[in-house]
């Protein structure tokens, strides 16, 4: 309770109270990823039943963004199951970024590892945010992924940050890590050269066929502690409830908002996993007295 109280006090010093930012997420290229992330149903190494889909057309991406905008989302995130994008694929994503920007929405992409030149091209196209999660602590990382190093992830974050794109970076909890691992993840994020402007905290969604299917579920209060700690250590950052909300009770989500979460992924699907319905979220926000309009930039003190 003391942790939550402190987190809420800090939150109100930096953000408008009772206001949540809405982001929509679309898988623009699905499946057949060569990585071995133990949580991911899109890995080609696991038999999860996820259908492989090629990169969507710019027109189809733009149509999905327009629907998300009509539903109230202010940021549109595009995710592709790549280890890293090829330049020809990146050119198509850049066209999609420009198309979404033309709708008046903020843009975000998660495409895997980037070179500095690729990050510069995305910046020139007007990309607002780039998502590249650290996933967990450096000590626990090898238990989850072997095909990409922790330093690889930090290098991509450096390329993105140095060319002026806002960083979206967080992790996944409930993968069998310890409380010390969760604390170490938050500490790493908070001690980057600049804390991420957006910090997504995911609760593991156990996908059939992945190595983490059957993992012990994380206690909900421990998840709230993670949210509160992220808020306290990164006061100006948006802290986003991401994957796993579909399995959370309304009461658990309310505790997360009390602990300083002020952003969600909005819409019925997150890449390949389910999410709470738009109608349910609207009803929950009405019951809690939460505003989803007029999100303001954080106040720095």
pLDDT tens by residue, 20-40: 988 888 888 888 888 889 999
Tokens of 204: 């593991």
> For 19, which DSSP code?
B
Q: Let me know: does 170 contact 133? Beta carbons within 8 Å.
A: yes
Tokens of 199: 């910090």
What is the helix (H) or strand (E) element at residue 80, kind and residue range?
strand 75-80
Between CA 188 and CA 151 the distance in angstroms is 12
pLDDT beyond 80 at 177 = yes
**Buried-state track 19-57, b at ≥16 Cβ within 10 A, e below 16:** bbbbbbbbbbbbbebebbbbbbbbbebbebebeeeebbe
> Which residues form the catalytic set?
33, 37, 40, 77, 108, 168, 240
Q: Let me know: does 70 contact 64? Beta carbons within 8 Å.
A: no
- Whole-structure pTM value: 0.87
Provide the β-strand partners of residue 76: 24, 107
Tokens of 55: 């990169």
More confident residue, 285 or 48: 285
Those residues with Cβ within 8 angstroms of residue 53's Cβ, 6 or more apart along the chain or in another chain: 27, 29, 30, 31
Q: How confident is the model at residue 169 (pLDDT cuts 50, 70, 90)?
A: very high
Q: Let me know: does 89 contact 121? Beta carbons within 8 Å.
A: no
Question: For 45-74, how does the pLDDT look when each residue is reduced to its tens digit (9 = 90+)?
Answer: 888 878 788 889 999 999 989 888 888 788
The mean pLDDT of the chain is: 89
Burial of 70 (0-12, 13-18, 19+ CB in 10 A): exposed
Between CA 19 and CA 291 the distance in angstroms is 5
Question: For 185-199, how does the pLDDT look when each residue is reduced to its tens digit (9 = 90+)?
Answer: 999 999 999 999 999
User: What is the percent of the chain where pLDDT is above 90?
Assistant: 61
Those residues with Cβ within 8 angstroms of residue 292's Cβ, 6 or more apart along the chain or in another chain: 19, 20, 21, 22, 72, 285
């Amino acid at each position: 309770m003391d942790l939550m109280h402190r987190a809420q006090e800090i939150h109100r010093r930096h953000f408008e109270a009772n206001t949540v930012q809405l982001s929509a997420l679309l898988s623009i290229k699905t499946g057949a990823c060569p990585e071995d992330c133990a949580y991911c149903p899109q890995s080609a190494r696991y038999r999860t039943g996820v259908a492989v889909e090629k990169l969507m057309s710019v027109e189809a991406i733009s149509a999905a963004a327009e629907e998300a905008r009509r539903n109230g989302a202010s940021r549109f995130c595009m995710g592709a199951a790549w280890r890293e994008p090829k330049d020809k694929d990146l050119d198509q994503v850049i066209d999609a970024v420009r198309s979404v920007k033309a709708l008046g929405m903020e843009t975000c992409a998660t495409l895997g590892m980037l070179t500095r030149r690729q990050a510069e091209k995305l910046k020139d196209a007007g990309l607002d945010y780039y998502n590249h999660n650290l996933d967990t602590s450096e000590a626990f990382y090898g238990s989850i992924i072997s095909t990409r190093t922790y330093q690889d992830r930090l290098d991509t974050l450096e390329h993105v940050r140095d060319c002026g794109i806002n960083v979206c970076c967080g992790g996944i909890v409930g993968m069998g890590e310890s409380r010390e691992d969760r604390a170490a993840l938050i500490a790493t994020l908070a001690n980057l050269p600049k804390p991420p402007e957006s910090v997504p905290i995911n609760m593991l969604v156990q996908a059939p066929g992945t190595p983490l299917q059957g993992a012990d579920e994380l206690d909900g209060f421990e998840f709230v502690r993670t949210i509160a700690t992220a808020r306290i250590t990164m006061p100006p950052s948006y802290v986003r409830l991401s994957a796993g909300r579909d399995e959370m009770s309304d009461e658990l989500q309310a505790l997360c908002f009390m602990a300083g979460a002020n952003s969600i992924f909005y819409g019925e699907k997150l890449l390949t996993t389910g999410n709470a319905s738009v109608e349910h979220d609207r009803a929950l926000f009405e019951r809690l007295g939460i505003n989803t309009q007029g999100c303001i930039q954080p106040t720095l003190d």
